[in-house]
Amino acid sequence: MVDVSQHELVPEHILLDDDSEVEEVLEEYNIKRTDLPKIKRNDPALPDEAEPGDVIKIVRDSRTTDTAIVYRLVVR
């Protein structure tokens, strides 16, 4: 089977497993965890250890800012 997470066009998906890092993100944007955009657990780009309720940091290439960082909440 092909591991799509290793494809050059798939941005890096990082599991934030440190609660303090998640809290910093939520505080920075003044939001609750449930306010984050969602990503399904069965998305093939997610790390294998991601579980519903986890927060994923996605680092994308950007033409204007070099890199763009977005956050997603893993859901069923």
Q: Which residue has the tokens 């890199």?
A: 67
Q: Which residue has the tokens 């657990």?
A: 41
Number of domains in the chain: 1
34-62 confidence digits (pLDDT tens): 999 999 999 888 988 999 999 999 999 98
Task: Find the domain containing 54 and state its range.
Answer: 4-75
CATH number of the CATH domain containing 66: 3.90.940.20
**Cβ-based burial of 56 (10 A; exposed 0-12, middle 13-18, buried ≥19):** buried
- Given this model, what pLDDT does residue 71 score? 95
Q: What pTM was estimated for this model as a whole?
A: 0.85
